[in-house]
């Protein structure tokens, strides 16, 4: 039924968000769509993972009648929690590294577009 799923994060500006994914997490920008003097859409990929960004202004023209706002959370399962924590140095961290009752190590950060990104390492899945 569903063959793939990719989040689209809605933001005011895409450009500040690109470095978060490219420089800190090793993603590559694979598509960009300009919207006047800035980007209206961007797609990033790393191996089988993909994340997309679209500005509120672009959505208003593309999906007439749809209201957007920054918000939401991506929950990412990772293999090397310590490497993620190190990569997130200097990033706003509403939930610092913690151990959960269900056996995961987690950290939640806010990417430059205002969306919450959770990184989780699940013990026993090593």
Query: Tell me, what CATH number does 111's domain have?
Result: 3.30.720.110
CA quadruple 27, 28, 33, 38: dihedral sign: positive
What is the CATH classification number for the domain harbouring 29? 3.10.180.10
Domain of residue 17 covers 1-69
Average pLDDT taken over every residue of the chain: 89
> How many independent structural domains does the chain possess?
2
Measured CA to CA in angstroms, residue 96 lies from 26, 34, 35, 93, 112 at distances of 22, 35, 36, 6, 17
The structure tokens listed for 6 are 């990719």
pLDDT at 123: 76
Q: Give pLDDT, residue 125.
A: 53
How many CB atoms neighbour CB 70 within 10 A? Answer: 15
Let me know whether 25 and 75 are in one domain. no
- What is the pLDDT confidence band of residue 68, given thresholds at 50, 70 and 90? confident
* Whether residue 37 sits in one domain with residue 3: yes
Percent of the chain surpassing pLDDT 70: 93
Residues 56 and 89 in one domain: no
* 46 shares its domain with 32: yes
Euclidean distance between the first and the last CA atom of the chain, given in angstroms as a whole number: 29
């Amino acid at each position: 039924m569903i063959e793939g799923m990719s989040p689209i994060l809605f933001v005011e500006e895409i450009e500040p968000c690109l470095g978060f994914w490219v420089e800190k997490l090793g993603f590559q920008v694979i598509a960009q769509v300009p919207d006047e003097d800035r980007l209206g859409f961007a797609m990033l990929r790393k191996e089988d993972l993909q994340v997309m960004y679209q500005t509120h202004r672009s959505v208003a023209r593309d999906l007439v009648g749809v209201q957007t706002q920054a918000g939401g959370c991506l929950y990412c399962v990772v293999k090397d929690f310590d490497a993620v924590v190190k990569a997130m140095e200097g990033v706003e961290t509403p939930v610092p590294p913690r151990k959960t009752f269900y056996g995961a190590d987690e950290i939640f950060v806010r990417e430059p577009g205002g969306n919450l990104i959770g990184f989780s390492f699940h013990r026993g899945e090593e």
